[in-house]
Amino acid sequence: MMRVLVFGRTGQVARALARAAGDDMALTCLGRDQADLTDAAACAAIIARADADIVINAAAYTAVDRAETEAALAHAINAAAPAAMARACAARQIPFLHISTDYVFDGSGSIPWQVDDLTGPLGVYGQTKLAGEEAVRAAAGAHVILRTSWVFSPDGANFVKTMLRLGATRPKITVVADQHGGPTAADDIAAALLDIARAFHKGRGISGTYHFSGAPDVSWANFARAIFATAGMDCTVQDIPSSAYPTPAARPANSRLDCSALARDYAIARPAWQRSLHHVLHDQGE
Protein backbone atom coordinates (compact mmCIF):
# COMPACT_ATOMS: atom_id res chain seq x y z
CA MET A 1 0.00 0.00 0.00
CA MET A 2 1.47 3.33 -1.12
CA ARG A 3 0.85 6.17 1.36
CA VAL A 4 0.46 9.48 -0.48
CA LEU A 5 0.43 12.80 1.39
CA VAL A 6 -1.17 15.66 -0.56
CA PHE A 7 -0.91 19.35 0.32
CA GLY A 8 -4.21 20.89 -0.79
CA ARG A 9 -7.76 19.60 -0.48
CA THR A 10 -10.14 22.09 -2.07
CA GLY A 11 -8.23 22.95 -5.25
CA GLN A 12 -8.85 21.57 -8.73
CA VAL A 13 -5.95 19.13 -8.75
CA ALA A 14 -6.31 18.16 -5.08
CA ARG A 15 -9.95 17.20 -5.62
CA ALA A 16 -9.04 15.32 -8.77
CA LEU A 17 -6.34 13.41 -6.86
CA ALA A 18 -8.93 12.39 -4.26
CA ARG A 19 -11.22 11.15 -7.08
CA ALA A 20 -8.40 9.29 -8.83
CA ALA A 21 -6.87 7.50 -5.83
CA GLY A 22 -6.74 3.77 -6.46
CA ASP A 23 -7.15 0.78 -4.16
CA ASP A 24 -3.37 0.45 -4.14
CA MET A 25 -2.90 3.67 -2.17
CA ALA A 26 -3.90 5.56 0.96
CA LEU A 27 -4.24 9.22 0.06
CA THR A 28 -4.40 11.97 2.69
CA CYS A 29 -5.29 15.48 1.51
CA LEU A 30 -4.39 18.36 3.83
CA GLY A 31 -6.54 21.47 3.74
CA ARG A 32 -5.46 24.94 4.76
CA ASP A 33 -6.70 24.25 8.31
CA GLN A 34 -4.24 21.34 8.63
CA ALA A 35 -1.35 22.74 6.58
CA ASP A 36 -1.12 26.47 5.91
CA LEU A 37 1.47 27.08 3.21
CA THR A 38 2.28 30.52 4.62
CA ASP A 39 3.93 28.53 7.45
CA ALA A 40 6.69 26.70 5.57
CA ALA A 41 8.24 25.25 8.74
CA ALA A 42 4.90 23.75 9.74
CA CYS A 43 4.59 22.10 6.31
CA ALA A 44 8.07 20.62 6.71
CA ALA A 45 7.23 19.39 10.21
CA ILE A 46 4.15 17.59 8.88
CA ILE A 47 6.32 15.70 6.38
CA ALA A 48 8.91 14.90 9.05
CA ARG A 49 6.18 13.43 11.28
CA ALA A 50 4.09 11.69 8.64
CA ASP A 51 4.45 8.10 7.47
CA ALA A 52 4.20 8.96 3.78
CA ASP A 53 5.87 7.09 0.92
CA ILE A 54 5.51 10.12 -1.35
CA VAL A 55 4.36 13.75 -1.09
CA ILE A 56 2.40 15.70 -3.72
CA ASN A 57 2.05 19.48 -3.46
CA ALA A 58 -1.27 20.43 -5.09
CA ALA A 59 -1.68 23.73 -3.22
CA ALA A 60 -0.60 27.06 -4.66
CA TYR A 61 -1.36 30.76 -4.96
CA THR A 62 -3.04 30.78 -8.40
CA ALA A 63 -4.66 34.24 -8.66
CA VAL A 64 -2.51 35.50 -11.55
CA ASP A 65 -3.65 39.14 -11.51
CA ARG A 66 -3.95 39.51 -7.74
CA ALA A 67 -0.37 38.20 -7.38
CA GLU A 68 0.87 41.47 -8.90
CA THR A 69 -0.12 43.25 -5.67
CA GLU A 70 0.41 40.31 -3.27
CA ALA A 71 3.92 39.29 -4.27
CA ALA A 72 5.11 38.44 -0.74
CA LEU A 73 2.14 36.17 -0.09
CA ALA A 74 2.44 34.50 -3.51
CA HIS A 75 6.17 33.95 -2.89
CA ALA A 76 5.55 32.42 0.54
CA ILE A 77 3.01 29.95 -0.86
CA ASN A 78 4.56 29.20 -4.27
CA ALA A 79 8.26 29.27 -3.39
CA ALA A 80 9.05 29.18 0.35
CA ALA A 81 6.56 26.41 1.19
CA PRO A 82 7.57 24.03 -1.64
CA ALA A 83 11.22 24.71 -0.78
CA ALA A 84 10.64 23.55 2.80
CA MET A 85 8.55 20.58 1.62
CA ALA A 86 11.23 19.46 -0.82
CA ARG A 87 13.95 19.68 1.83
CA ALA A 88 11.82 17.71 4.31
CA CYS A 89 11.18 15.04 1.67
CA ALA A 90 14.88 14.85 0.79
CA ALA A 91 15.74 14.42 4.47
CA ARG A 92 13.30 11.50 4.73
CA GLN A 93 14.36 10.16 1.33
CA ILE A 94 10.85 10.20 -0.06
CA PRO A 95 9.99 11.61 -3.50
CA PHE A 96 8.35 15.01 -3.84
CA LEU A 97 5.96 15.71 -6.73
CA HIS A 98 5.38 19.39 -7.44
CA ILE A 99 3.24 21.19 -10.04
CA SER A 100 4.36 24.19 -12.03
CA THR A 101 3.09 26.23 -14.93
CA ASP A 102 3.52 27.40 -18.52
CA TYR A 103 3.64 30.93 -17.03
CA VAL A 104 7.35 30.41 -16.16
CA PHE A 105 7.97 31.10 -19.89
CA ASP A 106 7.92 34.47 -21.62
CA GLY A 107 5.64 33.25 -24.41
CA SER A 108 7.91 34.22 -27.28
CA GLY A 109 7.91 32.37 -30.58
CA SER A 110 5.50 29.64 -31.59
CA ILE A 111 7.55 26.49 -31.03
CA PRO A 112 6.46 24.31 -28.07
CA TRP A 113 8.69 24.88 -25.02
CA GLN A 114 11.12 22.12 -24.12
CA VAL A 115 11.68 21.32 -20.44
CA ASP A 116 15.16 22.85 -20.38
CA ASP A 117 14.34 25.96 -22.40
CA LEU A 118 15.19 29.32 -20.87
CA THR A 119 12.45 30.61 -18.56
CA GLY A 120 11.36 34.25 -18.32
CA PRO A 121 8.14 34.79 -16.42
CA LEU A 122 6.08 37.84 -17.38
CA GLY A 123 4.43 38.32 -14.00
CA VAL A 124 4.67 37.73 -10.27
CA TYR A 125 2.73 34.45 -10.32
CA GLY A 126 5.16 32.99 -12.88
CA GLN A 127 8.16 34.41 -11.00
CA THR A 128 7.08 32.81 -7.73
CA LYS A 129 6.32 29.47 -9.43
CA LEU A 130 9.78 29.57 -11.03
CA ALA A 131 11.39 30.29 -7.64
CA GLY A 132 9.51 27.27 -6.29
CA GLU A 133 10.88 25.08 -9.09
CA GLU A 134 14.44 26.22 -8.43
CA ALA A 135 14.12 25.52 -4.70
CA VAL A 136 12.71 22.04 -5.32
CA ARG A 137 15.65 21.22 -7.61
CA ALA A 138 18.13 22.70 -5.10
CA ALA A 139 16.80 20.42 -2.33
CA ALA A 140 18.37 17.65 -4.43
CA GLY A 141 16.01 14.87 -3.38
CA ALA A 142 13.99 12.58 -5.62
CA HIS A 143 11.43 14.86 -7.26
CA VAL A 144 9.27 15.57 -10.27
CA ILE A 145 8.22 19.07 -11.28
CA LEU A 146 5.26 18.71 -13.60
CA ARG A 147 4.61 21.89 -15.58
CA THR A 148 1.06 22.01 -16.85
CA SER A 149 -1.26 24.68 -18.26
CA TRP A 150 -4.81 26.00 -18.50
CA VAL A 151 -6.27 23.65 -15.88
CA PHE A 152 -10.02 23.00 -15.94
CA SER A 153 -12.33 20.86 -13.83
CA PRO A 154 -15.79 20.95 -12.24
CA ASP A 155 -14.22 22.56 -9.17
CA GLY A 156 -12.90 25.96 -8.19
CA ALA A 157 -12.19 28.83 -10.54
CA ASN A 158 -11.22 28.06 -14.12
CA PHE A 159 -11.80 29.29 -17.68
CA VAL A 160 -14.43 26.64 -18.48
CA LYS A 161 -16.58 27.68 -15.53
CA THR A 162 -16.08 31.36 -16.37
CA MET A 163 -17.25 30.78 -19.96
CA LEU A 164 -20.33 28.83 -18.81
CA ARG A 165 -21.23 31.67 -16.45
CA LEU A 166 -20.69 34.48 -18.98
CA GLY A 167 -22.23 32.54 -21.88
CA ALA A 168 -25.45 31.96 -19.93
CA THR A 169 -26.28 35.68 -19.97
CA ARG A 170 -24.58 37.02 -23.10
CA PRO A 171 -25.20 36.28 -26.79
CA LYS A 172 -21.63 37.21 -27.64
CA ILE A 173 -18.28 37.26 -25.87
CA THR A 174 -14.84 38.54 -26.85
CA VAL A 175 -11.87 36.26 -26.15
CA VAL A 176 -8.16 36.60 -26.85
CA ALA A 177 -7.04 34.69 -29.92
CA ASP A 178 -3.30 35.40 -29.79
CA GLN A 179 -2.46 33.26 -26.74
CA HIS A 180 -2.01 29.54 -27.51
CA GLY A 181 -1.66 26.59 -25.18
CA GLY A 182 -2.91 23.21 -24.11
CA PRO A 183 -6.03 23.09 -21.91
CA THR A 184 -5.51 20.38 -19.29
CA ALA A 185 -8.15 18.59 -17.23
CA ALA A 186 -7.37 18.30 -13.51
CA ASP A 187 -8.40 14.64 -13.70
CA ASP A 188 -5.74 14.02 -16.35
CA ILE A 189 -3.10 15.76 -14.20
CA ALA A 190 -4.12 13.64 -11.20
CA ALA A 191 -3.85 10.44 -13.25
CA ALA A 192 -0.39 11.46 -14.48
CA LEU A 193 0.82 12.34 -10.96
CA LEU A 194 -0.40 9.01 -9.57
CA ASP A 195 1.29 7.13 -12.42
CA ILE A 196 4.52 8.95 -11.57
CA ALA A 197 4.01 8.16 -7.88
CA ARG A 198 3.58 4.46 -8.72
CA ALA A 199 6.76 4.51 -10.79
CA PHE A 200 8.72 5.90 -7.82
CA HIS A 201 7.11 3.35 -5.51
CA LYS A 202 8.41 0.59 -7.78
CA GLY A 203 11.86 2.17 -7.77
CA ARG A 204 11.50 3.26 -11.38
CA GLY A 205 10.95 6.97 -10.85
CA ILE A 206 13.11 9.42 -12.76
CA SER A 207 13.67 12.83 -11.18
CA GLY A 208 13.38 15.94 -13.28
CA THR A 209 11.18 18.60 -14.82
CA TYR A 210 8.45 17.48 -17.21
CA HIS A 211 5.73 19.09 -19.30
CA PHE A 212 2.16 17.80 -19.42
CA SER A 213 -0.71 19.51 -21.23
CA GLY A 214 -3.84 18.56 -23.13
CA ALA A 215 -3.72 18.26 -26.93
CA PRO A 216 -4.11 19.85 -29.37
CA ASP A 217 -2.80 23.34 -28.65
CA VAL A 218 -5.45 25.99 -29.19
CA SER A 219 -6.15 29.68 -28.62
CA TRP A 220 -8.30 30.76 -25.67
CA ALA A 221 -10.89 31.93 -28.23
CA ASN A 222 -11.06 28.54 -29.90
CA PHE A 223 -11.12 26.85 -26.51
CA ALA A 224 -14.12 29.05 -25.64
CA ARG A 225 -15.84 28.00 -28.88
CA ALA A 226 -15.27 24.34 -28.01
CA ILE A 227 -16.70 24.92 -24.52
CA PHE A 228 -19.93 26.46 -25.90
CA ALA A 229 -20.25 23.80 -28.60
CA THR A 230 -19.70 20.97 -26.11
CA ALA A 231 -22.11 22.52 -23.61
CA GLY A 232 -24.71 23.07 -26.35
CA MET A 233 -24.79 26.80 -25.63
CA ASP A 234 -25.52 29.50 -28.15
CA CYS A 235 -22.84 32.09 -27.50
CA THR A 236 -20.76 33.64 -30.26
CA VAL A 237 -17.05 34.07 -29.63
CA GLN A 238 -15.32 37.03 -31.24
CA ASP A 239 -11.54 36.92 -31.58
CA ILE A 240 -9.67 39.83 -29.98
CA PRO A 241 -5.96 40.56 -29.49
CA SER A 242 -4.54 40.53 -25.96
CA SER A 243 -4.13 44.30 -26.27
CA ALA A 244 -7.95 44.57 -26.26
CA TYR A 245 -8.17 42.66 -22.95
CA PRO A 246 -5.84 44.49 -20.55
CA THR A 247 -5.01 42.68 -17.31
CA PRO A 248 -2.66 43.53 -14.39
CA ALA A 249 -0.41 40.57 -15.32
CA ALA A 250 0.68 39.89 -18.88
CA ARG A 251 0.08 36.32 -20.13
CA PRO A 252 2.45 34.41 -22.43
CA ALA A 253 1.35 34.34 -26.07
CA ASN A 254 3.04 31.00 -26.64
CA SER A 255 2.18 28.55 -23.86
CA ARG A 256 2.65 25.44 -26.01
CA LEU A 257 4.52 22.75 -24.04
CA ASP A 258 6.59 20.00 -25.63
CA CYS A 259 5.50 16.97 -23.61
CA SER A 260 7.80 14.39 -25.20
CA ALA A 261 10.06 13.91 -22.14
CA LEU A 262 7.14 12.57 -20.12
CA ALA A 263 6.20 10.19 -22.93
CA ARG A 264 9.81 9.01 -23.16
CA ASP A 265 10.49 8.51 -19.42
CA TYR A 266 7.02 7.61 -18.11
CA ALA A 267 5.01 6.55 -21.20
CA ILE A 268 2.44 9.21 -20.34
CA ALA A 269 0.90 10.75 -23.46
CA ARG A 270 -0.81 14.11 -23.87
CA PRO A 271 -4.52 13.69 -23.09
CA ALA A 272 -7.13 14.84 -25.63
CA TRP A 273 -8.71 17.84 -23.87
CA GLN A 274 -11.89 17.67 -25.96
CA ARG A 275 -12.68 14.26 -24.47
CA SER A 276 -11.94 15.47 -20.94
CA LEU A 277 -14.01 18.62 -21.56
CA HIS A 278 -16.96 16.49 -22.59
CA HIS A 279 -16.53 14.46 -19.42
CA VAL A 280 -16.42 17.58 -17.22
CA LEU A 281 -19.49 19.12 -18.88
CA HIS A 282 -21.65 16.03 -19.16
CA ASP A 283 -20.52 13.42 -16.64
CA GLN A 284 -19.47 15.40 -13.58
CA GLY A 285 -22.58 17.41 -12.84
CA GLU A 286 -21.65 20.75 -14.33
Ligand X SMILES: NC(=O)C1=CN([C@@H]2O[C@H](COP(=O)(O)OP(=O)(O)OC[C@H]3O[C@@H](n4cnc5c(N)ncnc54)[C@H](OP(=O)(O)O)[C@@H]3O)[C@@H](O)[C@H]2O)C=CC1
Ligand Y SMILES: Cc1cn([C@H]2C[C@H](O)[C@@H](COP(=O)(O)OP(=O)(O)O[C@H]3O[C@@H](C)C(=O)[C@@H](O)[C@H]3O)O2)c(=O)[nH]c1=O
Cα separation of 161 and 153, whole Å? 8
Instruction: Identify whether the C-beta of residue 55 lies closer than 8 Å to the C-beta of residue 201.
Output: no
Beta bridge partners of 209: 145
Which parts of the chain fold into alpha helices (H)? Answer: 12-20, 40-49, 71-75, 81-92, 124-139, 159-167, 186-201, 220-231, 260-266, 273-282
Give the one entry of ligand Y, ligand X, none that residue 162 binds, where binding means its C-beta sits below a cut-off of 5 to 8 angstroms depending on kind: ligand Y
Per-position x/- string for 55-94, each x denoting binding to ligand Y as judged by CB under 6 A, each - no binding? -------x-x------------------------------
Longest CA–CA span in the chain (Å) reads 56
What's the closest the beta carbon of residue 250 comes to ligand Y, in angstroms?
Answer: 9
What's the closest the beta carbon of residue 194 comes to ligand X, in angstroms?
Answer: 15
| Contact flag: residue 173 with ligand Y (CB under 6 A) | yes
Binding test (CB under 6 A) with ligand Y, winner from 70, 115, 207, 245? 245
Q: Which residues are catalytic?
A: 125
Give the one entry of ligand Y, ligand X, none that residue 179 binds, where binding means its C-beta sits below a cut-off of 5 to 8 angstroms depending on kind: ligand Y
Binding test (CB under 6 A) with ligand Y, winner from 12, 127, 153, 179? 179
Nearer of residues 5 and 151 to ligand X, judged by Cβ = 151
- Of 198, 196, 217, give the one whose Cα is nearest residue 207: 196
Peptide bond into 216 cis (omega under 30): yes
Which residue ranges make up the site for ligand X (CB under 6 A)?
Answer: 8-14, 32, 35-38, 58-62, 77, 99, 101, 129, 148-151, 156
Measure CA of the first residue to CA of the last residue in the chain; give whole Å: 33
Give the one entry of ligand Y, ligand X, none that residue 191 binds, where binding means its C-beta sits below a cut-off of 5 to 8 angstroms depending on kind: none
Instruction: Identify whether the C-beta of residue 53 lies closer than 8 Å to the C-beta of residue 205.
Output: no
What's the closest the beta carbon of residue 251 comes to ligand Y, in angstroms?
Answer: 5
DSSP, residue by residue, 80-136: IHHHHHHHHHHHHT--EEEEEEGGGS---SSSPBPTTSPP--SSHHHHHHHHHHHHH
Binding test (CB under 6 A) with ligand Y, winner from 7, 113, 150, 200? 150
Per-position x/- string for 214-243, each x denoting binding to ligand Y as judged by CB under 6 A, each - no binding? ------x-----------------------
Applying CB under 6 A, which residues contact ligand Y?
Answer: 62, 64, 101-103, 149-151, 159, 162, 166, 173-176, 179, 220, 245, 251
